[in-house]
Structure 1
Amino acid sequence: MEAARNPLIIGAGPAGLTAALALMKRGITPRIYESSADVGGLARTPTSGDWRVDPGGHRFFTKSEEVSDVWRSLLPADQWVSVRRSSAMLVNDHLVRYPLLGRDLVTQMGLRSGIRGLASFFWPKLRNSMAPVNDSESFSDWGRRQFGRYWYELFFDGYVRKTWLTNPENLASEWANQRIKPIGWHRSREPDPLGEDAFRYPVHGPGQLWEAAAKKLADAGVDICLNCAVTKIHHTGRSWTMELQNGETVSGDAVFSSMPLRNLIDTLEPEPPHRIRATAATLRHRAVITVAVALQKRYDIPYNWVYTPGKNVRVGRIQNYGRWSSALAPADWNGTYLGLEYFTLPEDDLWVASSESLGAIVEQDLRELGVADSPLDNVIIVRSQFAYPIDDKARERGVARIRDYLRQKHPTLHPIGRNGMHRYDNQDHAMLSAMHSVSRYMGENVDPWQVNTGRSYHEAGLKN
């Protein structure tokens, strides 16, 4: 019976490749169609000579042993490094550790700022100590209640507007519960380097893992077609036919799609009802432009990620690649290798800016950051158009409407992964959605949409 199965997979990112691995494990050979020239999606590792770029700063952590087993099966132990989480927020020329520590907020920002923050922090808690928590509150309401107005506006209001391109009033608080930790008042000053703040990372960047997955699949006879964008997906009632950008067509009994959910609806034939197409049209993505700059001068930056919520710079987040893996830069190079991340909408001015215009913005930011006096050894620009689904209050209802329509009309069409399900999932969640979708395809009673639906999910470090 299994010999008749011939599923098609759209996308060779973490979700698509994981679906293929899960199918292969069950003795089924899928075919994969990837619109770009690379595997890995946002978790790819573009290269320029001996320079490597991580476009998104990928921490490899998970609470799932099933996901851990996949990672371990693809790369041997000597191809992983342990990276201690060490993040900060650059506010008023101060690098303040994140997650926020009470002692830093009280002492590091100056006495007046500390007193103001404490008053702002405790006043709403005293005033609202008996009030029930409103599950429908906005991110801004949640932030003011959690941190106090002063610290919320100092650290998080600008962060959400710049990094998430969203008005905090339109962002649901449940997103915050998953992503932002409360102030720590009793944490030790230095985290255990092998404890809850340590994460795995491939020696040569995240793409190393997914390139290994692609090789394993290719060696097993799985066809991965790169530069094969899917333009039409036609359902006959018994099978699926996909039309590729080059005019070719392919057919199969099921489709696993990690392409943006909005695009999936646009490509379906017969055309979905107007209400479904209108709902899909409201789904938006953030793009990210990562500019990797290699500074000859060495700066002592004790963090692997620095968030920049202030208005004085355009960059939203900075990766310190030397704190991720020394192999991202050439051997014996001793400068400072940074990845400046610029978040934008796919149609906005920054996305369509020329290299000269973008270069001027980067140069200005480097001046504001105080590192413009160092000569540059290398600059790499990496653009990722559909990097992150934008979350807002209407997203959940809209995605649920599309999900229910697809389940009713097209039960053999399986949206998977961050873009396929239009949810801001971590890499392990994207993989789990693919695994569960394969199980559903095989007739098991499992719901991929229940992955990462808990109210609270925070990063956890290495367990073994």
Structure 2
Amino acid sequence: MMAKRSPLVIGAGPAGLTAALQLIKGGVTPQIVEASANVGGLARTPADGDWRVDAGGHRFFTQNEAVSDMWRALLPTDQWTVVPRRSAMLIAGQFVRYPLRGRDLLVQCGVRNGLRGLGSLMWARMSTGPRVSNDLTSFRDWGTYQFGRRWYETFFDGYVRKTWLTEPSEIASDWANQRIKPIDWRPRPDVSLDTTDVFRYPRRGPGQLWEAAADALKAAGAAPVLGAEVVKAQFDGKGWTVTLRDGRTVRGDAVFSSMPLQNLIQALDPAPPQHIRGIASRLRHRGLITVAVALRTRYDIPFNWVYTPGPEFGCGRIQNYGRWSAGLAPAGWNGTHLGFEYFVDGVSGLWDADDNEMIRHVSADLHAIGCGGSEIEHIMVTHSQYAYPVHDASRERSVQRIRDHLAANYPALYPMGRNGTHHYDNQDHAMLSAMHSVEKYFGADIDPWQANTNRRYHESGLING
């Protein structure tokens, strides 16, 4: 190892920027390289004048005080807003609140349909047993056990096919336990929804926070270098040499990597064995195309997110930016600002569609949601290639084999974050894996890969202060 600490950070998304800030806090100045022209990764906020887009919909919540403290330190209190979480699924022209409530399922969808759904749920529980709920299994089996076949097929089967781009029977259920809440059967007044489930949000979108992080790093002498794609990461037994696409090289004693895990494996020198490279090449991502549309007509859509599982929609989900923050639109805007999310497999399918083609898709979805009659004020298309790691049936075993090989052969290499560990993390868990990686670099006995392994639902009981 080099006598002087000189770590390299690959990627300037939430994990990379967090690692860099923690290194600075520990008295070490890192070098940071980012392949794209922006900081923030998926959590950036693309802008066109006063119009801003949250590409993935980023709620700021966490159960970890260190993460919460970092958020508060980066942005002053007046730059945060508190937003009630309100989501719905659009089924047969009706908004059904999500997470699902038993009262809505039994009444809103019709008593007869409700009773049939309840019977299907009871049958699933009696015939399957708790094993499917507790063990790693397919999403289809998990969803059928949790909701019964009828409600699973109504609310989740089509949505998962559309957003994960594969059969639900071929997707592992580990992420679902964390993110999909079971049916709430408690009778409670509607008013509690807006007071018990809230999240923080930067007034000008999630990128406002990560731009502030980049500014803090610049002030500390560690400004991220943008447009710096890594093509080789060479370990010579003592230190690391990272080669960029334009031929430049940077050297350091350690590498903190949030680049996609399969790309890291491809870049390593000496190269891993063929079987490790083969495993890595089969790791999959879902890309995301977000089309933000500003309509001059104001529509009353009282939800942040509207999920669209039905075949009448091409998009998988719609964001209502007006419910996130007024700062995503020009001051005084009184229309409707929506973000339509289209999921793609890598760079195939819609990925190469031009803006005119995407506008045609959005026009069809606007009619399907009942907003097709309004004049469009502004439209903006955003592409995010490595948006979501795919949790297929082989992911857990494949990542473990890669992890074991890296630990044994590449000292001071710290994969971290959603893409670096190929794990479907929220940004707080991506940050936590970066924090743990830095702690390990400084000598702590800690496993950064354990930052998000609890399979219980983790989107409640949150720190919001």
- Shared fold per TM-score greater than 0.5: yes
**Cα separation, 1, equivalents of 2:298 and 2:360:** 22
Deviations 1:123-151 (A, max 9, x none): 23344568786614321111111111100
Task: List aligned pairs for 1:108-123, cutoff 5 A.
Answer: 108-123=108-123
Determine the structure 2 residue equivalent to 1:357.
357
The answer (yes or no) to whether the contact 2:158–2:309 under 8 Å persists in 1 is yes
Determine the structure 2 residue equivalent to 1:143.
143
Determine the structure 2 residue equivalent to 1:68.
68
Shift in alpha-carbon separation, 1:308–1:22, aligned structure 2, 3 A: same
Determine the structure 1 residue equivalent to 2:103.
103
**Cα separation, 1, equivalents of 2:329 and 2:64:** 31
- The TM-score with structure 1 as length reference comes to 0.97
- By how many angstroms is 1:49 displaced? 0.6
- By how many angstroms is 1:172 displaced? 2.0
Determine the structure 1 residue equivalent to 2:289.
289
**Cα separation, 2, equivalents of 1:134 and 1:7:** 40
Secondary structure of residue in 1 paired with 2:243 = strand
**Cα separation, 2, equivalents of 1:257 and 1:131:** 36
Determine the structure 1 residue equivalent to 2:28.
28
Determine the structure 2 residue equivalent to 1:214.
214
- By how many angstroms is 1:202 displaced? 0.3
The answer (yes or no) to whether the contact 1:195–1:462 under 8 Å persists in 2 is no
Stretch of structure 1 that moved more, 452-461 or 209-218: 452-461
Deviations 1:266-315 (A, max 9, x none): 11111110010000011010000000000000000010001101111110
For 2:74, give the aligned amino acid.
Answer: L
For 2:173, give the aligned amino acid.
Answer: S
Task: List aligned pairs for 1:296-311, cutoff 5 A.
Answer: 296-311=296-311
- By how many angstroms is 1:372 displaced? 1.1
Superposition RMSD on alpha carbons, in Å? Answer: 1.6
- By how many angstroms is 1:111 displaced? 2.7
The answer (yes or no) to whether the contact 2:63–2:463 under 8 Å persists in 1 is no
Deviations 1:371-409 (A, max 9, x none): 111001100000000000011110000001111101000
**Cα separation, 1, equivalents of 2:86 and 2:161:** 23
For 1:66, give the aligned amino acid.
Answer: A
Shift in alpha-carbon separation, 1:11–1:129, aligned structure 2, 3 A: closer
**Cα separation, 2, equivalents of 1:293 and 1:3:** 54
The answer (yes or no) to whether the contact 1:14–1:427 under 8 Å persists in 2 is yes
For 2:269, give the aligned amino acid.
Answer: E
Shift in alpha-carbon separation, 1:157–1:223, aligned structure 2, 3 A: same
**Cα separation, 1, equivalents of 2:268 and 2:47:** 35
- 2:35 is the alignment partner of 1:8: no
- 2:336 is the alignment partner of 1:336: yes
**Cα separation, 2, equivalents of 1:160 and 1:130:** 22
Shift in alpha-carbon separation, 1:185–1:298, aligned structure 2, 3 A: same
For 2:217, give the aligned amino acid.
Answer: L
**Cα separation, 1, equivalents of 2:205 and 2:455:** 30
Determine the structure 1 residue equivalent to 2:396.
396
**Cα separation, 2, equivalents of 1:125 and 1:372:** 42
**Cα separation, 1, equivalents of 2:247 and 2:438:** 28
Shift in alpha-carbon separation, 1:252–1:175, aligned structure 2, 3 A: same
Deviations 1:228-272 (A, max 9, x none): 111111111101101111111111100000000000001111111
Shift in alpha-carbon separation, 1:336–1:210, aligned structure 2, 3 A: same
Determine the structure 2 residue equivalent to 1:325.
325
Identity of aligned residues (%): 59
Shift in alpha-carbon separation, 1:422–1:131, aligned structure 2, 3 A: closer
- By how many angstroms is 1:348 displaced? 1.8
Determine the structure 2 residue equivalent to 1:428.
428
**Cα separation, 1, equivalents of 2:463 and 2:347:** 39
Shift in alpha-carbon separation, 1:227–1:127, aligned structure 2, 3 A: closer
- The TM-score with structure 2 as length reference comes to 0.97
Task: Please list every run of 5 or more consecutive structure 1 residues that lacks an aligned counterpart in the other structure.
Answer: none
Task: List aligned pairs for 1:11-410, cutoff 5 A.
Answer: 11-128=11-128, 135-190=135-190, 192=192, 195-410=195-410
Deviations 1:336-367 (A, max 9, x none): 00000000112322111122222211111111
Aligned residues: 464
**Cα separation, 2, equivalents of 1:37 and 1:147:** 43
The answer (yes or no) to whether the contact 1:181–1:458 under 8 Å persists in 2 is no
Secondary structure of residue in 2 paired with 1:70 = helix
Secondary structure of residue in 2 paired with 1:288 = strand
Secondary structure of residue in 2 paired with 1:290 = strand
**Cα separation, 1, equivalents of 2:96 and 2:367:** 20
**Cα separation, 2, equivalents of 1:410 and 1:152:** 44
- By how many angstroms is 1:458 displaced? 2.1
- By how many angstroms is 1:175 displaced? 2.2
Secondary structure of residue in 2 paired with 1:225 = coil
Shift in alpha-carbon separation, 1:388–1:378, aligned structure 2, 3 A: same
**Cα separation, 1, equivalents of 2:97 and 2:114:** 15
**Cα separation, 1, equivalents of 2:228 and 2:273:** 27
Secondary structure of residue in 1 paired with 2:169 = helix
- By how many angstroms is 1:173 displaced? 2.6
The answer (yes or no) to whether the contact 1:88–1:98 under 8 Å persists in 2 is yes
The answer (yes or no) to whether the contact 1:198–1:462 under 8 Å persists in 2 is no
